[in-house]
Amino acid sequence: MSEEVRGDRVRHWEDVQIGEELPPVIKGPLGLTDEIAFCAGCGSYYFVAHRAALSGYRRHPAWSFRDPDCHSLEPMFAVHYNLRAALATGVPYPYAWGRQLQCWQINLLTNWMGDEGWLKTCYCEYRRFVYLSDVVWLRGKVTGKSIDDHNEYCVDIETSGFNQRGENTMPGRAVVILPSREGNTWPIAERLPKEKASL
């Protein structure tokens, strides 16, 4: 299934219907490279190597463990990509980082709202582990529309992330602000410095 990205095609508040479903986003099967790339890309303090890592482990011994396969010290954070670390914490397999799951939720929402929308709030709960090899189907549904106290045109969205076992790994909700024809409002323009908004 291809991922639908709204991009520069403006989605107006008036065109959104309560009960409308967002085009789904599918993540997975989650692989080792996916996990390492996310951990490295987000700049985790624990994702360091050589002298910097050893210095940290000496100061904080509980941050690391001795990997029995390669005999190196590895961070406990490695539960996200190292089987031995995951087993040591009592889970059967490495698993996705919670922050990563919320990034997937944001991916679903920003795909739908397009370049001119604004993500006002988003919230999700991490209810199940998402292990390496899992697939997650991210979905959303419009549950409400309103004009807030700042005269911004808001859409309430309920989100979910079901895995191949039928478990909702990450139920959530969000509020998106969209441009309005009636109100002649543009959320991005409202947030730009005045000199850039006039360009």
- Provide the residue-wise pLDDT of the chain in tens; the chain has 199 residues: 579 999 999 999 999 999 999 999 999 999 999 998 888 887 666 678 889 888 988 999 988 889 999 999 988 889 999 999 999 889 999 999 989 999 999 999 999 999 999 999 999 999 999 999 999 999 999 999 999 999 999 999 999 999 999 999 999 999 999 999 999 999 999 898 876 655 5
What is residue 53's predicted lDDT score, i.e. its pLDDT? Answer: 87
Q: Please, where in the chain does CATH 3.10.129.10 lie?
A: 13-30+96-197
What is residue 196's predicted lDDT score, i.e. its pLDDT? Answer: 60
Q: What is the pTM of this model?
A: 0.90
What is residue 109's predicted lDDT score, i.e. its pLDDT? Answer: 98
Q: What is the SS3 string spanning the chain?
A: CCCCCCCCCCCCHHHCCCCCECCCEEECCCCHHHHHHHHHHCCCCCCCCHHHHHHHHHHCHHHEEECCCCCCEEEHHHHHCCHHHHHHCCCCCCECCHHHHHHHHHHHHHHHHCCCCEEEEEEECCCCCCECCCCEEEEEEEEEEEECCCCCEEEEEEEEEEECCCCECCCEEEEEEECECCCCECHHHHHCCHHHHCC
CATH 3.10.129.10 fits 13-30+96-197, yes or no: yes
What is residue 189's predicted lDDT score, i.e. its pLDDT? Answer: 92
